[in-house]
Amino acid sequence: MLLPVAAILALHALGVNLSASVFTLSLVSSAILLEAHGDFESVASSLADSGKQAKAPAQMVGKSGVKHEFSLAVFSSPGSPEVVVDAELSVKDVDEMKVLKFYVKVFDVSPKKSILCVCPHLTERARSLAKEYGITVLESDVPRKLVEMAAKEISGTSGEG
């Protein structure tokens, strides 16, 4: 959690009025997201150590020819994603547009399983949409916990095949 604290201290040192809370919260959530991506890298490394092909962040070209980026991907063979994971961090509940954005990427790369990690939570409409699209949703008020939850979910998936 040093990165978000460092961002706030840097802003304060530059004389930025931290009472502009929306701006500050946006920067802090961006810093937390960057930290979470680093944590997904450690999950990818751990999966690789156990013989899985994993990459974080992962870029893939979909059937449409568009390049998509995911926080983490596990491959059953090169270019064939078994699991894709993305994270959506927000200061308020995540809406259905974020689920749609994720679904479009998932649809284009056709993994066996898709996991959307959300902090803090999905709205009811977004949750319903994710369920309809077969997206596994992991929710937590603590972003770092999402990485651990995703690792457990992937381990359960990888154990099946």
pLDDT digits (tens, 9 = 90+) for 100-128: 999 999 999 999 999 999 999 999 999 99
Instruction: Return the pLDDT at 77.
Output: 85
Expressed as residue numbers, the domain containing 117 is 2-160
Q: For residue 79, what pLDDT is reported?
A: 77
Q: Specify the CATH number for the domain of residue 86.
A: 3.40.1350.10
Q: Tell me, yes or no, if the pTM score tops 0.85.
A: no
Candidate from 45-49, 57-61, 70-74, 96-100 with smallest mean pLDDT: 45-49
75 pLDDT above the threshold of 80:
yes
- The predicted pLDDT at position 23 comes to 46
Task: Compute the mean pLDDT over every residue in the chain, rounded to the nearest whole number.
Answer: 82
Q: Over the chain, what HEC string results?
A: CHHHHHHHHHHHHCCCCCCCHHHHHHHHHHHHHHHHHHHHHHHHHHHHHCCCEEECCEEEECCCCCEEEECEEEEEECCEEEEEEEEEECCCCECHHHHHHHHHHHHHHCCCEEEEEEECCECHHHHHHHHHCCCEEEECCCHHHHHHHHHHHHHHHHHHC
